[in-house]
Structure 1
Amino acid sequence: MNIFKSYLIRFVVLCSPLIGFASSPDMPHITPNEPWFTGPLLTPTANVVSKGHYDIQSYVFFTNIYGQYNAHWKNHSMPHVFVGSFVLDVQFGLSKICDFQFNPLVLYKHQKDIHTWAFGDLPISLGFQLYKAAPAGLAIKLRFLATLPTGKYQHLSLDKQGLDAGGLGGYFPGIALVFGRTFQMGCSYFLATRLSLSYYLPTPVHVKGLNSYGGGPHTRGKVFPGQFFIALLGLEWSFTQRFVLACDLEYIHTNKTRFTGDRGHLNGIPHLIGAASKEQISIAPALEYNFNQNVGIIAGCWFTIAGRNIPAFASGVISLNIYK
């Protein structure tokens, strides 16, 4: 259960920055042959969507959780959990310097003979343009983040081993700063860079029974999820106007998750609930194809390269972006 809970923390929270668009806000008119970018798979844009415009991006993730890193950064194999995830990323402008974003999430999970569907928590964010240098200079965006607990997180099925979980039961407020800049390298090559730094302060969660944090049928109490920090670096290299190489690097640190209350027990042994502090490093290389400056598709993979007290996973990802 703690393994899947760790995956949920990553996925629900990361749904919020899953945004990039093949549109003019990220790539102002530099030359007649300006590059078109969808944005990398993970790192959010440093530009707001202005009033009167919207961006819709759909993602499909095919994920295999195949191992668990221990406290000494060593990966140990485990029974595989396969997760299919569909994310719809919707972002629209509220003013010239402010936009709003929300990300519905549906999960399909499979392990051996267990199959489940679940609706996830709903990440939302409000973004403000702090600075924007034209035409392709430094851009800085401030984001206020939260997660609405719309996914199932308690009274989970023992027969399904808790895989019917879809959320974490908390609001996960956070704040992020995103920096972006595009560099012209020679006559026809461009390098678009993004850096996102975010910090989350999860709210306490009351739990009953088997839940996303562990426990068992008779568990009753309060979970205090650990605060966590996420750093994302996104790079895009345009080698033609339509084709772009992209790559994200991600680092996550999560503090210890605590529990107070009655853990419940099985044959006199208390159920496990809570988690030690954890870290994870992952990478997501991808290839973009842009049909025009407003529509693009990106496909790639996302996988862990190191971790501590956290799952090891590998994902295939494909995404379609439409900006208007």
Structure 2
Amino acid sequence: MNARRRAGFVWLLCLHGCLGWSFPASAQTVPTPPPAAVTEESMSDAWWTGPMLANSAETLPPGHFLFEPYLYDIRSPNTDSFGSRTYILYGLVNRLSIGIIPVFGYNRVVNGTNSSGVGVGDITLQAQYRLTEFRPDSWIPTTAIQLQETFPTGKYDELGDRPSNGLGAGAYTTTLAINSQMYFWMPNGRILRMRLDVSDAFSQSVNVKGVSVYGTSQGFDGNVKPGNSFFADLSLEYSLTQRWVLALDATYGRNGNTHIAGEDLLDPGNIPYPQNIRINSGTSTAFGLAPAIEYNWSSAIGVLLGTRVTFGGHNSVNTVTPAIAINYVY
């Protein structure tokens, strides 16, 4: 091979090497394709049971029912208060739902006497009127005004040696609430549903005799005026998938002073000795969190499992309340 051929052969080898190295380099400079557009979840594809505590601002279509029973255990120091609370609602006319909320309970007391059996608590009647309806192209939330009247059907006084039989308040109580509900679409297209409810409850005076849920003794005969109760609840629900939802309630409650006035006809030794009784409970406050998880078999039926924890309040008892609920609409 002469010098010219050797030079040409070397040049071809160099050209082949340069091309071989240039292709990978040029491949690295190919622009990355833009990310695929996020598909937003539609409201009809998101299934919910509702969070553990916050009421819905929606109303049922005329002729439709909602049935939602809760089972729970309010755990406080030395006491387990087992109970059931069932929402039975009916769409009466457009924008208006009515319903009834029966309550049953049983108290188990450490180092004390348990309830003699499952008893009836106070029953509530409810009406809710929807004011506005949320639309995806608007920032106006769904809002509703709710009116509840609670009737003193639960035992509350003359409890004798079984104060754990007390399951009611003995007072007619009127509760006025404003409920609201809003939807937000997250960056991944999933829906976050938010509720904000505020309510105030006003109770009438109660005639009380003997041992009662207000802490009066066997010889007491008098009157109790429960304080007003304010409650606020902010809830968030994240549509993890169509069937699975993560939920959280954050609550604040304030109870006004309860005034007790009357006579105690017996001294601690059960000897007749009338004494005037004047007691003020003072106000109390409590904060709470209620995380929960929801599973929906369909848009009409689902189950919720959660726990409410109250803490950090003033003049109140910390509690832990596990609960399970079924939500069915038809």
Return the TM-score normalized by structure 1. Answer: 0.82
1:101 Cα shift? Answer: 2.1
Identity %: 26
1:64-213 correspondence to structure 2 within 5 Å: 64-66=75-77, 80-112=78-110, 114-116=113-115, 117-134=118-135, 138-158=141-161, 160=162, 162-186=163-187, 188-213=189-214
Give the corresponding residue for 1:13: none
1:266 Cα shift? Answer: 1.9
Quick one: distance in 2 between partners of 1:181 and 1:173?
A: 27
CA contact (8 A) 1:157 1:164 kept: no
Quick one: distance in 2 between partners of 1:126 and 1:293?
A: 24
* Partner-residue secondary structure (3-state), 2:286: strand
Amino acid at match of 1:142: I
CA contact (8 A) 1:246 1:288 kept: yes
Q: Could you say which structure has the higher helix fraction?
A: 2
Quick one: distance in 1 between partners of 2:107 and 2:87?
A: 21
Q: Mark the runs of 5 or more structure 2 residues left unpaired by the alignment.
A: 1-39
1:115 Cα shift? Answer: 2.3
Quick one: distance in 1 between partners of 2:287 and 2:264?
A: 31
Does residue 282 (structure 1) correspond to residue 285 (structure 2)? The answer is no
Amino acid at match of 1:224: K
Quick one: distance in 2 between partners of 1:54 and 1:184?
A: 29
Quick one: distance in 1 between partners of 2:84 and 2:227?
A: 26
1:230-241 correspondence to structure 2 within 5 Å: 230-241=231-242
Larger Rg: 2
Amino acid at match of 1:205: V
CA contact (8 A) 2:263 2:277 kept: no
Quick one: distance in 2 between partners of 1:88 and 1:133?
A: 27
Report 1 or 2 for greater relative contact order, CA contacts < 8 Å, sequence distance ≥ 6.
1
Quick one: distance in 2 between partners of 1:274 and 1:165?
A: 20
Give the corresponding residue for 1:53: 64
Quick one: distance in 2 between partners of 1:164 and 1:273?
A: 23
Quick one: distance in 2 between partners of 1:33 and 1:217?
A: 58
Amino acid at match of 1:156: L
Quick one: distance in 1 between partners of 2:278 and 2:167?
A: 20
* Partner-residue secondary structure (3-state), 2:166: coil
CA contact (8 A) 2:259 2:278 kept: no
Count of residue pairs the alignment pairs up: 281
Give the corresponding residue for 1:23: none
